[in-house]
Amino acid sequence: DAGVTQSPTHLIKTRGQQVTLRCSPKSGHDTVSWYQQALGQGPQFIFQYYEEEERQRGNFPDRFSGHQFPNYSSELNVNALLLGDSALYLCASSSSGQLYNEQFFGPGTRLTVL
């Protein structure tokens, strides 16, 4: 059973560009959450998708947007990249049908903005 997978592993972009990161949830999971982890910091919640809709959102600007597909996979899009967007982006999946709804994390995509 594959866990949460993310692509690409690493990405280098320049300021002002746009980027799309992808996540496939663990089998049986229907909810996807995205987190940003800056170097030396804890992960910060960006948003969560369930039933193809954004259900919760953290304190991130509108440059950060997402999408969830019918197969529960998800994309994170960031427009007009800033140097400060350089971070490890983590995807976590969970099942709405489980009592404690544990989140399982992928290995992350490391984004470098030059």
Partner 1 sequence: GDSVTQMEGPVTLSEEAFLTINCTYTATGYPSLFWYVQYPGEGLQLLLKATKADDKGSNKGFEATYRKETTSFHLEKGSVQVSDSAVYFCALRKSSGDKLTFGTGTRLAVRP
Calculated CA dihedral for residues 53, 56, 58, 61, nearest 10 degrees: 30
Verify binding: residue 45, partner 1, rule CB under 8 A: yes
Closest CA to 23 of 96, 87, 90, 95: 90
> CB 53 → partner 1: shortest distance, Å?
14
Between 29 and 113, CB nearer to partner 1? 29
Verify binding: residue 56, partner 1, rule CB under 8 A: yes
Q: Which one of residues 25, 43, 76, 78 is an interface residue with partner 1 (CB under 8 A)?
A: 43
> CB 108 → partner 1: shortest distance, Å?
5
Verify binding: residue 79, partner 1, rule CB under 8 A: no
The site that binds partner 1 (CB under 8 A) totals a number of residues, namely 28
Residue 66 CB burial class (10 angstroms; 0-12, 13-18, ≥19): buried
Verify binding: residue 24, partner 1, rule CB under 8 A: no
